[in-house]
Structures are given as C-alpha cells and as structure tokens.
Structure 1
Amino acid sequence: MTITTPTLYDVDYADWIAETVARLKAKDFTGLDLENLIEEMESLGRSERHALSSQWIRVVKHLFKLEAQPQTTDYHNSLVSSVVEGVRQIKRLLRDSPSLKGYIRANPADWYPDARSEASIETRLPQAQFPESCPYDVLDLIAGNYPESLRYVFVIE
C-alpha cells in the first residue's frame, strides 16, 4: 500500500498559487510543482475557450429568438440586452486573449448545433425553421453589424 503525502496544492490551493507565483517571479524553478502547474495552465485555456463558446451560443440563440418571434414583447428587451452583453463579453475575452480570435473563427460550426437546438427548444419552433448553417459572423457582430432584420433593435452607442 502506497501512502502519498498531500501537496500544498491538495491542502491549500490559494497558498499553492501564491507560492508558485513567488517562485516563478524569483526565477526559482526548483521545487516547482510542475505537474499541477501544467494542469492549471491547460485548464485556463480550456475555461477561456468554454466561456467564449458559451457567449457565442447565447448570442446566436437570442438573435434567432428575436428574429423568429419579433412580436413577443414580454421578454424582447431582455433578449436584446442579453445579445449586447454577450457581444461585450466576447469582445472582452478577445481583448484579454487575442489568440482566441483564431479559435472563434475556426469553431462556430462546432457550436452552432447547440445554439440552433436551444433556440428551437426555447421558441417551441422546429429546428428546421432555423438555418442549417449559422447566418451570423461573430466578427461582424463584434463590429456592431447586426442582421439587417434586427438593425432597428440594435441602435447602440
């Protein structure tokens, strides 16, 4: 039976971060917990990509809902607000991590089925009513170029 001694990472994550940062700043690479450091670095990239895809899905889904049911005013302003906030979050993520721009250009086809499915469920409209491929370009949305059918809604300064 092998008994493993818990590391600082296992015992106190905040202290582990502080110690790791201090060692890195001092260029003291001896004693670094490389296994957990590598795992945490990889996790950061994954969480940023996940945040980006989640915002993209939300924006597309809500644009679909606005286009599919423009007469539904109960939550119209909420949808508009959600799209605007989602675009702001995407801008922030891209500003903070410019390398994500390549990721967002390369992956919408992977995320689109989720946005389409969620829009179908939430509007109670058949998926076939929504386009097979995404009609929106995220970089156009970031630039404020909203779909022609919704430009009257997105008069944002």
Structure 2
Amino acid sequence: MTQPLTPCQIRVIAGLARGHLAARIGQDLGISPRTVHNHILRAAARAGLHGRPQPQLVDYAYRHGYLADLAPEQRAPIFALSARLAQTLDCLARGLSVNGIADELGVGRDTAHEYRRRLYRLLQARTRAHAVALGWQMELLGRARPVPARVGRAAA
C-alpha cells in the first residue's frame, strides 16, 4: 500500500515535471540539492517505485492527481506519436533505461537512444521526467486525474 506524498515532495516532483535538475529545484524551494534528492527517494518509497525514480514519480503524480493544478507548458500540440515513439514514452514513464527500452522494443541500444532523442526533440523535453510530464500535458499518456480533496497540490 502506498502512502500519500507530502506537499514538499509534490513541489519537488513539480520541479522535475518542468525539466529542472536538483540544483534548480533546490534553489527555487530554498533547500539544498541533497535535500531535493532525499525528497525524491522518500517520495519514490512512498509510491512504491523502484528503478529510475524521477520519470516514474512524474507519471505517478499525474496518474494520482497530485499535479492536476500544474499549468501545462506552452508547446505546439502533438496529437499522436509514431508507434515507436509512443512505446518509448511509455518506457520512460516506467523508468526504463536506454538498455531497458532497447530490450522492451526488441531493438539495439543505438536505435533506442535515437528514439529517445527524437522524442525529446519532438516534445522539446530536457529530461526524462520532463518528457513524461509533457506526455501527460498533451494527453499522450492519458488524462491526468483530478486531484483528490485529501492530497496537496503542486503550485502552478
């Protein structure tokens, strides 16, 4: 069973969703980068996530309504991805590495890396977590759930 995320953890995840790294998130929140990493690890534990936590946390937060109030970034709309790019985005949301994506898609590592590079360019994403957030914002990964009344929300 998972535990609810704390308001500070949600703010850190919102920073990840914006494509920021720990130093920038810490600067924005007035905490150290080490504290940012600790919030990420604790949030991942609360959510029952393993592997690469940043993209998984963003996916989890959108699926469970924690980022419902995070304003979408202005981007040209993308209504559909090629099958391979959609699969790559799904793999990123599950926290798979390039090697994991290659195994999942049955392609070589270089091909998986190229799919990820194309996806980043198409979405204008800076990080894995940012690509996942943009995927949710463009409804390529589904529609974000409304925030339950009992949980905190991310600041827009």
Question: Which category of TM-score, normalised to the shorter sequence, fits these structures?
Answer: under 0.3
Q: Highest CA radius of gyration, 1 or 2?
A: 1
The TM-score with structure 1 as length reference comes to: 0.28
Q: Which has the higher contact order (CA 8 A, sep 6+)?
A: 2
